[in-house]
Amino acid sequence: MGNAIWTVAVGVALASVLAAAPAFAGFSVRDGRLVDACGEAFVARGVNLPHAWKPRATGKAIRQSAALGANAVRIVLSDGTRWRRTSPQAVRKILVQARRARQVVILEVHDTTGYGLEPEAAHIGSALAYWAKLEPVLRGQEDLVLVNIGNEPTAGATTPEQWLEAHRTAIIALRALGLRHTLVVDAHDYGQDRSGTMRDRAAQLFAADPLRNVVFDVHMYEAYGEAQAVERYLRAFETARLPLIVGEFGPDHRGQPVDEEAIFRLAGAMGVGYLGWSWSGNAQEVANLDLVERFDGRRLTPWGERFFYGPGGVRQTSRRSRVFSGCR
């Protein structure tokens, strides 16, 4: 199908879906903030869970991270391109477990990581068919689930314009599928946005969503080794009145320092959500990013101790959404 015909077809489908669909009470964006179904600002204080690689550990990790105070989990899924496909039935089970634990869920397709540099990485467009398969599971879960279209889906020779157009097309397509959830978009440059691509084009992309319901996600690793870099980036989104989360970060990355103290301090002061990478099971070269040892929430690593119990950490700053108590 030619591009012009495809664009018209998607536009017609999108208009009919938005006109016919009921107004679900779910997450939304208001005045640059992520707002839950109770109409209150929601600030994520959560963890990343490696479900695609360790699916049997997920249920326990949800329970234990919730017990430690996490109000959100970001779940690694696979569409089958690089790893074993996460089935709709598995996703449904995750959502039941998270609702029981009173945790908001960010679902992300990880197969897209590093497209443009890693030969095995999937283009973000390939994730759309997977989201279409998940749509029946996600329908009616708008108060619980945020849809992170693809993890770190641009790197290498991918240009800023390609990042913008790939995400614009994906957003329109997902709305045409009937997804009314808050959509989460990862930054260029393996999520770190060294080039400022997402920072400079976020307003354009936000405006491209007919629901104006997009949150932007930066991953703060070695590009944020100094507090000034952290503050400049967070302030740019604050000034633009656009919603931002730090979807991944750690105390360092492959031996390069990260100013995690600045992330904790500034995220707290500015009401920016954050999710630490990651619960457990990291490769040897980044094993110090494990929050707990051997998937056991009773055995915190030094990073886990800092993340949950340190100044500005989860125990001090996490607040659960009242959605789970009927907004009471």
Q: Which residues are catalytic?
A: 152, 248
Closest C-alpha among 283, 274, 250 to residue 53: 283
> What angle in degrees, to the nearest 10, is found between the helix axes of 88-101 and 58-67?
20
How far lies 54's CA from each of 60, 77, 78, 279, in Å?
A: 11, 10, 12, 11
Instruction: Say if residues 321 and 46 touch (Cβ distance below 8 Å).
Output: no
Helix residue ranges, H only, 34-87: 58-67
3-class DSSP assignment, residue 248: strand
Q: CB under 8 Å to 249, separation ≥6 — which residues? A: 219, 220, 221, 224, 258, 260, 263, 274, 276, 277
Query: Which two three-digit tokens encode residue 65?
Result: 């991270």
Residue 249 phi/psi, 5° resolution?
Answer: -170, 165
Q: CB under 8 Å to 203, separation ≥6 — which residues? A: 240, 242
Sole residue written with tokens 């100013």: 259
Hey, what amino acid is at 23?
A
Instruction: Say if residues 273 and 314 touch (Cβ distance below 8 Å).
Output: no
Query: Which two three-digit tokens encode residue 211?
Result: 């629901």
**Other CB atoms within 10 Å distance of the CB of residue 274:** 27
Instruction: Say if residues 59 and 97 touch (Cβ distance below 8 Å).
Output: yes
